Structure 1
Amino acid sequence: MTIKQFKDSPLAHYSYAVVSEGKMALIDPSRNPLQYYQYAEEQDAKIVAVFETHPHADFVSSHCQVREQTGANIYVSKLLGADYEHQAFDEGDTVKVGNVKFKALNTPGHSPDSITIVAQDEHRTALFTGDTLFIGDVGRPDLREKAGNMTAKRVELAKAMYDTMQNKYNDLPDDSIVYPAHGAGSLCGKNMSTDSSSTLGYEKKYNWAFQEQTEEKFVETILKDQPFIPHYFGFNVDVNKTGADNVQQTKAAVKLKLLTEKVESGITVIDVRDGDKYKENHLPNSINIMARNEDDKYETWLGAIVKPEEPFYLVVESVKQISDILERTAKIGYEKQLRGILTLPKEAFQTSEEFNLHDFREHKDNYTIVDIRNQSEVAEGKIFDSALTIPLNELRERANEVPANKPIVVHCAGGYRSTAGASILENFFHKTDVFDLSEDIKKFN
């Protein structure tokens, strides 16, 4: 079998194509299936199967679109209760694709309906572990308490993960290649390796979750210091259970408005330009979530700041960005709540106050400092002892906790998130100056 790994860097998501004898299977495909179709053409293969390891929380899958456009069968656990046409795929079930035999292992823990896809031919075994087994870690068990309509308690899932790690992989060869659905940078785990694959033997030796320990200790470790849960995670779980609409059609329905001078009051504007451009000229009620390149976690912060089904506009620097920003927005299923994509004329609408770093350095007590890093970051130590700590994903809802009697300075760890945080507080405080410490935070930490 030939295995190709596809990487979506901003979401640290891995998806896969397995080819054998002119037939192809996909595992955990991302929202836009065209990359898989192109690979199928290159391999002269027909896509006949799509395996979903679980209903994903951090991205929208294209499984239903692939079925519609290729005729492929979708295979998921019966525990998922999928609302789309599918075939149940649980322990004891097998599927042949060319010379490759696929079988299912029920591996609950990240979710009750998680499965590991075992692919075998005469040469090797590959394990597509979804969000169950990562390289160096395992999937977090705390998402389903808040993830849409498919709820499960975190402690119960943590115990299920303990059982999975103790028992489910024992009969597989140590040289099995482990292919997870995520790598370092994903919010679906906390200590993932930057490696994109491993072997089962290596993981059994070095992954903490395989080590001998009590259930109580395992549960305590896995639940400690998990990352925050963005607003969109539950929404994506529900979309993936139902099946998403054709992404080319939903993107095509988004309107474009050039040189826009105003939008309806009360509608949020997400400005994806560089922070300096934003500060020079932006529409009222804008939030600056930069999407300059793949290193900017635009998708995560869009889904953490803007709630599912909340209408919003996007502002881009140039029409050249439209295709890319639509693609990135659609990854998390937010394109249908997008009112339009805008460009701005050069004349200024609203500007941000220029920050006097020297004055701040000399007179910190004259400012209210707001630390918008995540709780786990703050737990490792504050950068400014007097700072008020409110994580960025909670800032819109908790802005009223920030006192308005002094100028406000917002900081994060490296400067990316503080542009968003400062713009949020600018919208809330109209008579108090709000400053973005930006990359100057590196001069203090």
Structure 2
Amino acid sequence: MNIEQIYTGCLAQGAYYIESQGEAAIIDPLREVTPYIKRATRDKAKIKYIFETHFHADFVSGHVTLAKETGATIIYGPEADPTFEALIAKDGQEFTVGALTIKVLHTPGHTMESTTYLLRDANGKDKAIFSGDTLFLGDVGRPDLAQKAAHLTQEQLAGMLFDSLRTKIMPLADDVTVYPAHGAGSACGKNMMKETVDTLGNQKKMNYALRQDMTKEEFIAEVTEGLLPPPKYFPLNVKMNKEGYEDIKDVLKRGTKALTPDEFEVLANETEAIVLDVRSEEEFVKGHIPRSIFIGLKGDFAPWVGALIADVKQTILLVTPKGQEEEAITRLSRVGFDHTIGYLKGGFNSWKKMGKETDSITSIHAEKLIKELSDKELAVFDVRKESEYSAAHLPQADNTPLDVINEHLASFPDNRTFYLHCAGGYRSVIAASILKSRGIHNLVDVAGGFSAIKLAGIKTTDYVCPSTL
């Protein structure tokens, strides 16, 4: 028996490879399927099944392409309604992979079709569950994503999730391994642990949602408390996962078109394409194409693209570090952004060499901010999450979280300089690029963010542990 977690950090997503006696199954694959095929080839195994735990909202799965390339059967749990060919399993139905058995446990609540897959070894012993978004480590899936489609309230779905956990998962033995679909950093839950694998027994001790003495009413209240609005691209990803999508090979072919600076400029001016610069924040601050948006590859790239650009049909022109064009297009396609139409050949340096217009961001170190803070009228905007801001912040700062910055445009002064910061510098540069693209240029970025502010000894509000908020 071979179980391998294939974890993608930028999406906080876990896909799974299971192999036994020359047969293999993939659970919740990402869109680029070549790694799974190569993995099976290495084991001289045939991919027999592709198990989907539910219609994912935060990424586009690779199920359709993988089935096409391998002949494997796509399996969903009860109540799934894809438009492509798939086997809709019954609750309790079993499938064999070599000497192993995979049993379908219908666990609605996160979505109506949400399913947990129970793996049994050759002796029939329960070994692991692949819990999708039903059970995370430290948390459970949010129950507000499927309410419109299911014609149910989030409270009704949360009640179903309570029943699913207590009738299907909690009765399993403590030594069963839990393999979730996501870890910390995903927008699919609130309090996920940084670990990506655990025992069910430990989760029964550590996970607030699995308390033995918890009533359904208490569960519903705790699971639905503090849910932030889901990113706007989530429904669009669900639609692609239910209806199918373009082959990633075609997406890459279209996106990896090298454009000279002149060609790039013409497309930027004559189309509605966004110029997306994926270099580091330090490089972008020093110089960039006017009105371009910065979202760096080294950060939580794909989720921020989804949250801030939102429309997966938006055409995109890329400015990338040399040799990272394909990586950027691949990571965009993971969240459904398939309409990259080319990249700047030679990168930003080629743009500068042609003498074309450039822009930059004024940036200061925290030590200089100390001098500026003597001005009682100083305007400071903290673009971290509300929970980060509540834990500790500059007394002068207003909280304008990056994911809703477009709703705060009127808050930024137009007649004087203001300052932006986040935790480490990545998000504030994204915010600065968005503001500048909308004609707001009277801003200064604080390099290094709140971490640098604290190191500089600048007075902040008393720190409060976020878990106690």
CA distance in 2, matches of 1:109, 1:438: 43
What are the residue-to-residue correspondences of 1:351-366 with 2, within 5 Å? 351-357=359-365, 360-364=369-373, 365-366=376-377
How far residue 396 of structure 1 moved from its aligned partner, in angstroms, is: 2.9
CA distance in 2, matches of 1:264, 1:11: 32
8 A Cα contact 1:187 1:228, kept in partner:
no
Find the counterpart in structure 1 of residue 330 from structure 2. 327
CA distance in 1, matches of 2:95, 2:20: 13
Letter in 1 for 2:8: D
Find the counterpart in structure 1 of residue 269 from structure 2. 264
How far residue 156 of structure 1 moved from its aligned partner, in angstroms, is: 1.5
Find the counterpart in structure 2 of residue 316 from structure 1. 320
Find the counterpart in structure 1 of residue 222 from structure 2. 221
Find the counterpart in structure 2 of residue 35 from structure 1. 35
Is 1:290 aligned to residue 296 of structure 2? yes
User: Does the residue aligned with 1:80 lie in a helix, a strand or coil?
Assistant: coil
Percent identical: 33
**CA distance change for structure 1 residues 395 and 428 in 2, over 3 Å: closer, same or farther?**
same
Is 1:414 aligned to residue 418 of structure 2? no
How far residue 234 of structure 1 moved from its aligned partner, in angstroms, is: 1.5
CA distance in 2, matches of 1:332, 1:415: 24
Find the counterpart in structure 1 of residue 381 from structure 2. 370
Find the counterpart in structure 1 of residue 244 from structure 2. 243
Which runs of 5 or more residues in structure 1 are unaligned? none
Task: Out of 22-31 and 153-162, give the one that drifted further.
Answer: 153-162
Could you tell me which of 304, 308, 320 is aligned with 1:305? 308
8 A Cα contact 1:236 1:333, kept in partner:
yes
How far residue 54 of structure 1 moved from its aligned partner, in angstroms, is: 0.3
User: Does the residue aligned with 1:385 lie in a helix, a strand or coil?
Assistant: coil
Find the counterpart in structure 1 of residue 453 from structure 2. 444
Task: Out of 325-334 and 242-251, give the one that drifted further.
Answer: 242-251
8 A Cα contact 1:100 1:121, kept in partner:
yes
CA distance in 2, matches of 1:75, 1:394: 37
Deviation digits for residues 239-274 of structure 1 (CA, Å, limit 9, x no counterpart): 111122221122112232134562226532111111
CA distance in 2, matches of 1:145, 1:271: 36
Give the alignment's TM-score, normalised by structure 2: 0.87
8 A Cα contact 2:364 2:445, kept in partner:
no
Find the counterpart in structure 1 of residue 188 from structure 2. 188
CA distance in 2, matches of 1:373, 1:356: 18
Deviation digits for residues 278-320 of structure 1 (CA, Å, limit 9, x no counterpart): 123211221111113xxx10111111111222222221132x1
User: Does the residue aligned with 2:10 lie in a helix, a strand or coil?
Assistant: coil
Deviation digits for residues 3-23 of structure 1 (CA, Å, limit 9, x no counterpart): 111011111111111111211
Find the counterpart in structure 1 of residue 89 from structure 2. 89
Find the counterpart in structure 1 of residue 464 from structure 2. none
**CA distance change for structure 1 residues 303 and 385 in 2, over 3 Å: closer, same or farther?**
same
8 A Cα contact 1:271 1:287, kept in partner:
yes
Is 1:350 aligned to residue 355 of structure 2? no
How far residue 356 of structure 1 moved from its aligned partner, in angstroms, is: 4.5
CA distance in 2, matches of 1:174, 1:421: 45
Could you tell me which of 399, 405, 425 is aligned with 2:409? 399
CA distance in 1, matches of 2:273, 2:23: 47
How far residue 150 of structure 1 moved from its aligned partner, in angstroms, is: 6.2
CA distance in 2, matches of 1:150, 1:331: 25
How far residue 151 of structure 1 moved from its aligned partner, in angstroms, is: 6.2
Find the counterpart in structure 1 of residue 19 from structure 2. 19
8 A Cα contact 1:267 1:285, kept in partner:
no
Letter in 2 for 1:66: L
Task: Out of 32-41 and 69-78, give the one that drifted further.
Answer: 69-78
Find the counterpart in structure 2 of residue 169 from structure 1. 169
Give the alignment's TM-score, normalised by structure 1: 0.92
CA distance in 2, matches of 1:56, 1:316: 28
The aligned length equals 436
Supply the RMSD in Å over aligned alpha carbons: 2.1
8 A Cα contact 2:10 2:302, kept in partner:
yes
Letter in 2 for 1:403: P
Is 1:273 aligned to residue 279 of structure 2? yes
8 A Cα contact 2:364 2:444, kept in partner:
no
Find the counterpart in structure 1 of residue 461 from structure 2. none
User: Does the residue aligned with 1:237 lie in a helix, a strand or coil?
Assistant: helix
CA distance in 1, matches of 2:46, 2:449: 53
Find the counterpart in structure 1 of residue 136 from structure 2. 134
CA distance in 2, matches of 1:442, 1:40: 44
8 A Cα contact 1:404 1:429, kept in partner:
no
8 A Cα contact 1:236 1:332, kept in partner:
yes
CA distance in 1, matches of 2:14, 2:24: 17
User: Does the residue aligned with 2:7 lie in a helix, a strand or coil?
Assistant: strand
Letter in 1 for 2:327: D
How far residue 115 of structure 1 moved from its aligned partner, in angstroms, is: 0.4
Deviation digits for residues 39-66 of structure 1 (CA, Å, limit 9, x no counterpart): 1011100011000000111111010111
How far residue 96 of structure 1 moved from its aligned partner, in angstroms, is: 1.6
